[in-house]
Amino acid sequence: MNEPADARGPLGSPWSASVERGEDGALRVGGLDVRALADEHGTPAYVLDELDLRARARVLRLVFQAAFAEIGTGVDVYYAGKAFLSVAVARWVADEGLLVDTSTGGELGVALFAGVPGERIGLHGNNKSDGEIARALDARVGRIVLDSLDEVDRVADAVARRATGPARVMVRLTTGVHAGGHEYIATSHEDQKFGLSIAPAPDGGDSPAMTALLAVLARPELELIGLHAHIGSQVLDPAGFAAVTAKVLAVRAELAARTGVLVPEVDLGGGFGIAYLPQDVALAPERIAKELASAAAEAAAGLGTPLPRFSIEPGRAVVGPAGLTLYRVGTVKPVQLSDGTVRTYVSVDGGMSDNIRPALYGAAYHAVLADRVGSPDLVQARVVGKHCESGDIVVHDCLLPADVRRGDLLAVAATGAYGRSMASNYNLVPRPPVVAVADGVSRVLIRRETEKDLLALDQG
């Protein structure tokens, strides 16, 4: 499914908007030739298309605001920083009107350092440390999403000790709707670490979620601002989001009926699926915004409750398609398979340390020869890394020009999310830099690690 080898011009999905093949056959991104990028910054390198990222953030905000305005309520878009957070990226998304969702002290620290105001930051996490809770309270974050009954008291006690005034909290619900990949499934039983189940207790008593909500209301140190649900990641079917919306609004109505407290906000999480391969169809922001808004309006009308303000937390859909990884080709090895065919193993200078997703989830990616067009005849190729694992695969299957050779550049599409953020130093390979490109200018957001960085942690 590669583009015709001689195609010139924009590559289109799954690449970021500025990726094109120039007249001389080399890829360009952000107005820069990838050969120049590789010369200046080395390989492997993550390349982030700033204008593409900003446009995705802006479009998500605008289409959600339009769809929810139509049903008479508002919506905030939080960027889920775990997909990839750096100081520059936090500033870009804040510039585009997004808030920032964090799930650790590290993410919170980077967002605060970038100048994102505390009230525009949320804190998640199923196992927040005392230090993380204290830091979030000191920064007066806009919301802390409580993930267990235990945390209700831990946060309330921390508020009491610090006298910072009531903490704005949400409670994370597990609704039985889990989604990811291409399907969604609804299960009545929860067997996972996140959130509090909305299913009634086995004896017919209150659900864990209701128990926690009542516990929050009993603590004056906490201000219950809303309910939260996140169904999964890389979701390509909006039916799962519609189902979860109805369930969360039903819990909100039940809480109001029991206590008279109608919480003002509902967060529907992130997880909007993107295209990784040319044949993939991403979940269009307009489509998901409209489906979520109409599901919300319908559910609220059925329940007879006014609509809350909503928020969403996309990560991958903002940064994923904006990134690509540039690798340098090393060993090229044709391997005869038992069915008589040949697979060409193309080894690159990175691998599972800069992109764990193929090894972790069997995730599919798309690669092209980047520094030239190459021969018109193609070979069945597998792009592999340099690590000591046979599962160290970058792209399981792709067609590459038959003359692919040592020294070539390969580009892998849609690596902006969960690439650098999940990178490791496996085999003591220093992590690649993140280089932003825009309008013909490149800028290092995160520099390449060096052997000195590795040894700096080693106490001998």
Ligand X SMILES: *Cc1c(COP(=O)(O)O)cnc(C)c1O
Interface positions with ligand X (CB under 6 A)? 80, 82-83, 124, 230, 233, 269-272, 313-317, 417
CA dist., res. 279 & res. 277, Å (int)? 5
As measured in angstroms, the least distance from the Cβ of 93 to ligand X is 13
**Contact, 107 vs 82, CB < 8 A?**
yes
Rounded distance, CA 327 to CA 372, Å? 14
Q: How far is the CB of 101 from ligand X (least distance, A)?
A: 6
Query: What is the C-alpha to C-alpha distance for residues 395 and 359, in angstroms, rounded to an integer?
Result: 10
Q: How far is the C-alpha of 80 from the C-alpha of 60, rounded, in Å? A: 13
429: which DSSP letter? P
- Complex with ligand X: residue 241 or 327, whichever CB lies closer: 241
Q: Minimum Å distance from CB 387 to ligand X? A: 25
Closer CB to ligand X, 42 or 97, in the complex: 97
In the structure encoding, which two tokens stand for residue 67, read together? 């769809």
Give whichever of 270 and 432 is closer to ligand X, judged by the CB atom: 270
Helix boundaries (H) for 218-307: 239-259, 285-303
- Our answer to whether residue 398 is catalytic in this structure is no
What is the spatial distance between Cα 346 and Cα 303, in angstroms, rounded to a whole number?
57
Contacting residues for 298 by C-beta, under 8 A, at least 6 apart:
246
CB-count burial class (<10 Å; 0-12, 13-18, 19+) for 300? buried
Residue 71 CB, nearest approach to ligand X (Å): 22
Query: What whole-number distance in Å separates Cα of residue 242 and Cα of residue 235?
Result: 12
Least distance in angstroms from the C-beta of 35 to ligand X: 31
Helical H segments across 316-416, by residue range: 316-319, 357-361
Number of continuous H segments (helices) and E segments (strands) in the chain:
12, 25
Q: Return the number of the residue (271 or 308) whose C-beta is nearest ligand X.
A: 271
Q: Which of 358, 369, 382, 348 is nearest to 411 (CA)?
A: 369
Residues 6+ positions from 280 with CB-CB distance below 8 Å: 13, 14, 274
The residue among 142 and 271 lying less far from ligand X, judged by its C-beta, is 271
Angstrom distance (rounded) from CA 43 to CA 409? 9
Rounded-to-integer distance, Cα 1 and Cα 368, Å: 10
- The phi and psi torsions of 229 (rounded to 5 degrees) equal -150, 140
Q: Report in angstroms how near the CB of residue 389 gets to ligand X at its nearest.
A: 26
CB of 316 to ligand X, least distance (A): 4
Q: 11 with 380: CB under 8 angstroms? A: no
Q: Of 15 and 79, which CB lies nearer to ligand X in the complex structure?
A: 79
| Nearest approach, Cβ of residue 195 and ligand X (Å) | 9
> Could you identify the residue written with the tokens 């804190």?
123
Beta carbon nearer to ligand X, 21 or 228: 228
Which amino acid type is present at position 411? Answer: A
Q: Smaller CB distance to ligand X: residue 144 or 409?
A: 144
Residue 295 CA: distances (Å) to CA of 232, 298, 358 = 18, 5, 34
Q: Closest Cα partner for 242 from 321, 203, 194, 186? A: 186
Residue among 388, 407, 451, 457 flagged as catalytic: 388
- 8 Å CB contact between 255 and 226: no
Closest CA to 140 of 152, 123, 153, 161: 123
Quick one: 48 or 383, whose CB is closer to ligand X?
48
CB of 377 to ligand X, least distance (A): 38
Active site residues: 388
